[in-house]
Structure 1
Amino acid sequence: MFTEITYATAPGSERPNEDLVIAGPSWIVVLDGATAAAGVDSGCAHDVPWLVARLGGALAGRLAVDRDTPLAGVLEAAIDATAAAHGQGCDLGNPDSPSSTVAMVRLGPERVEYLVLGDSPVVLSLAGGGVQVVDDDRLERLPGGRPYPPELVRRMRNAPGGFWVAAARPEAAGQSVTGAVDAREVRGVGVCTDGVARLVDWYGWSWADVVTTLDGAGPGAVIRAVRELEAARGPVRGKRHDDATAAWGRAIRR
């Protein structure tokens, strides 16, 4: 189990926050819902916050009672349950149906498991010093480079050679970046959305800087830091401010 889990989340605008963070004694889940583009028909009666809440609840319910199923299996079952909750009025074959990134960690007696699907990274603070970053950069490697045309993103979402997110296709779970680290080698775990990862991707922080701040000043401090930099230097692309979420779990030392 973790000795302590702390987290913070903040919306990027007056719109509802489409991030979600949930934690239990031995696990942390962070989701980042994909904001729907203006004028796009998702084919779904539900919005992104609905999808994020349903998926998060399904994940939490499973992680609370199941310590053995691999995280990809947990996610597959949660996506399947969320898809079933949509009802017959939703076109789940529409590639623009609501979706979310997923980042999870689970601390067991012997190992720390992780799963990343989409651009919400996990960073492990190692007992011997340094960090190990787990990310999924497939969205950054689409053909042609940014800014991507909306039709390209639509065509490459949850498709071979493209990028994968949690929506209505349970098989997306099998495309997650997964692994495990010896629990004795981990002193803490950070989980965040891309709204916090801007510190590294855009503003010159290292992941070691992020971990130091999470451990010392707490998750709220990294969000304040990214907001200050966004205000002072502006965004590299896209929204001036994005929903931002960070969680930090201190591991039991043995």
Structure 2
Amino acid sequence: MQITYATQAAPGGVNEDCVVAGPDWAIVLDGATAPVGVDSGCVHDVAWLVRRLAGALSARLADGADGSLADIVAESIGQVCASHAGTCDLSNPDSPSSTLAVMRRRDGVVECLLLADSPIAVRRRDGSLHVVEDDRVAHLPGGRPYTLEKVRTHRNRPGGFWVASSVPEAAHQAVTAAFPETEVEEVVMCTDGVTRLIDHYGYDWPGLFDSLRTAGPAHVIDLVRRAEREQPIPGAKPHDDATALLATRRGGGPSLEAGRTASRND
């Protein structure tokens, strides 16, 4: 696959997104910004968690680790937990957390795994689109608006929603999907800083695929920034970290070649 991506912090902030890719896999994470005044029980910030988790997971994928994506993600979360269990209270329900999206091509199958709202969209060779998403955070009991207490009591709990944080079991509660490799033409992975274009600014998935294909991920993030300036989203933060990745089939045959270009602006 040829994999092209870009990631950019919200203006004036630290990038709590992270993207890593290899010849036949990719990872996108979006750290949950800590609410002001909330004690996470952790001496590390969200960006630390995101980058440690990206490193642990990418090392396993790059090494061709056996096992399901759920098992590999659980092991990676467990490794990160072990690295700061001695300094931090990992039982704190407000411990730093992140969304997680993983795509892997293996044994003729393109696999996807999701925790929370960083979707993966697949365009098949026949032109049809399939969006893999985990929208459980949008359907908590009682409906919106959510209080901090409601989010706290439903995070990484049955009947609530699951994120990458201090509970390895979350990996086995993830949303998963698999597609025959021969049917897959393109894969898009992005954080909700990019899906703002779809949720608030009149784009749709086919339009997002077209923009990524013709102008590239950095251009798509420019579109987000322009829209945020011209039409702020009521009740939302004015800007968000934004990450977009496009994986494209090469050569038209069943084999996938490795290739990658990257753009980064922290």
Amino acid at match of 1:48: V
| Preserved contact between residue 202 and residue 236 of structure 1 (Cα < 8 Å) | no
Amino acid at match of 1:155: T
User: Where in structure 2 are the equivalents of 1:37-52 lying within 5 Å?
Assistant: 37-52=35-50
More moved, 143-152 vs 43-52: 143-152
User: Where in structure 2 are the equivalents of 1:1-254 lying within 5 Å?
Assistant: 2=1, 4-66=2-64, 68-252=66-250, 253-254=252-253
TM-score, structure 2 as length reference: 0.92
Q: Which runs of 5+ in 1 are unaligned?
A: none
**How far off its partner does 1:108 sit?**
2.7
| Preserved contact between residue 3 and residue 248 of structure 2 (Cα < 8 Å) | yes
| Preserved contact between residue 132 and residue 177 of structure 2 (Cα < 8 Å) | no
| Preserved contact between residue 107 and residue 113 of structure 1 (Cα < 8 Å) | yes
Q: Which runs of 5+ in 2 are unaligned?
A: 254-266
Q: Secondary structure at the match of 2:27?
A: strand
Structure 2 distance, partners of 1:237, 1:200, is 17
The RMSD of aligned alpha carbons is 1.1
Structure 2 distance, partners of 1:108, 1:158, is 28
Amino acid at match of 2:63: V
Q: Secondary structure at the match of 1:23?
A: strand
Tell me the number of residue pairs that the alignment of Structure 1 and Structure 2 aligns.
252
| Preserved contact between residue 65 and residue 72 of structure 2 (Cα < 8 Å) | no
Percent of counterpart pairs with the same letter? 51
Q: Secondary structure at the match of 1:9?
A: strand
After the TM superposition, list the runs of 4 or more consecutive aligned residues in structure 1 that deviate by more than 3 angstroms: none
| Preserved contact between residue 115 and residue 177 of structure 1 (Cα < 8 Å) | yes
Structure 2 distance, partners of 1:33, 1:193, is 10
**How far off its partner does 1:248 sit?**
0.7
